Each structure stands twice: as C-alpha cells, then as structure tokens.
Amino acid sequence: MSDTPNEIPASDRIIVGVDGSDHSKEALREGARLAQALDAPLEAIACWHDPSVYAASYGYISELKPEAFRAHSQDMLENTLEEVFGQDRPARLSTRLLHGRPAELLVEESKNARMLVLGRRGVGGVLGMILGSVSSALVSHAHCPVLIVRR
C-alpha cells in the first residue's frame, strides 16, 4: 500500500470483462455507474488468444499471426469504449489487454479487485444458456464479488 493519500489501492478497483458483445457493453455501463458511486477506479479488461488455439479446434492451419489477433482485440476494446462512453469516458478508467484464456485471467485479476462485472453471455455464447462459460467460471471461482449484468 502506498503512503500517497489520494492513491486508491488496486484492490479497490472495479474490473469489467469486455469482449465486444452487447452483454459486455451493458456490463461496462453498470461498472462505470458502480465505480462512480463507490469512488473507485474502473478497469476494462479484454483477453485474446493465439491463432493456433483456434486452428487446432477447427482443423485448419491459420495464416493469421498472433499480432493480428492482438490488434483485433485492441481495436475491439477501443471500439467498445467508444460506443459505450463516446468522448465522455470516466476519469478513472484504465484498460488492459491480456493474453490467455479469459476465465483464468479474470479469476487471477479478481484477487486484487473490489468487484468484477461481467455480461451474462459473451460473443461465443450458445443461445438459451443462462450464463456463458466465462461468467459461470467466475461466479464459481472469483476472489471478489461478481456482478452478472443482463441486457
């Protein structure tokens, strides 16, 4: 913990998992409202995988480079923030792009968070599911309270 009086510890941050889905956009809006009400920093986190992860699953060799997947995820994060907030972004908003599986990374990030906010389902959600796989994993394994936001 810092001796700087105005610095809020990382454990006070509100984390929002962002994947570009409408559900995650609503989670970002709700996370911003909570962060403002609690005077907490807001952190939007997006995750990306290497193309080889997908190539093996779908039986083809991907021509895409990992840098392209990273750049696509960064663009998605920026586009989502633009759509949700426009030019009026929260003052204490930060973003991070993490490499790996979202559920595992967000469980780890939850160790130093006040709350984790997620959409009910992400872009890979199967219609009819109550919760997506990432949301389900975080409800079960996160180290902080988890808020699942419905559209």
Distances (CA, A) of 119 to 23, 30, 37, 66, 150: 4, 10, 20, 26, 6
* The two three-digit tokens of residue 75, written as one number: 């663009």
What is the percent of the chain with per-residue pLDDT over 90, rounded to a whole number? 53
Residue 22 lies in a domain: yes
Residue 3 lies in a domain: no
- CATH code of the domain in which 100 resides: 3.40.50.620
Residue 4 lies in a domain: no
Residue 132 lies in a domain: yes
Domain extent at residue 129: 10-149
pLDDT exceeds cutoff 70 at 83: yes
Residue 1 lies in a domain: no
Question: Global pTM?
Answer: 0.80
Q: What is the DSSP letter of 92?
A: T
pLDDT in tens, 110-123: 999 999 999 886 54
Position 104 scores a pLDDT of 92
Q: What value does the mean pLDDT take over residues 130-145?
A: 78
Structurally, how many domains does the chain consist of? 1
Q: What value does the mean pLDDT take over residues 67-77?
A: 89
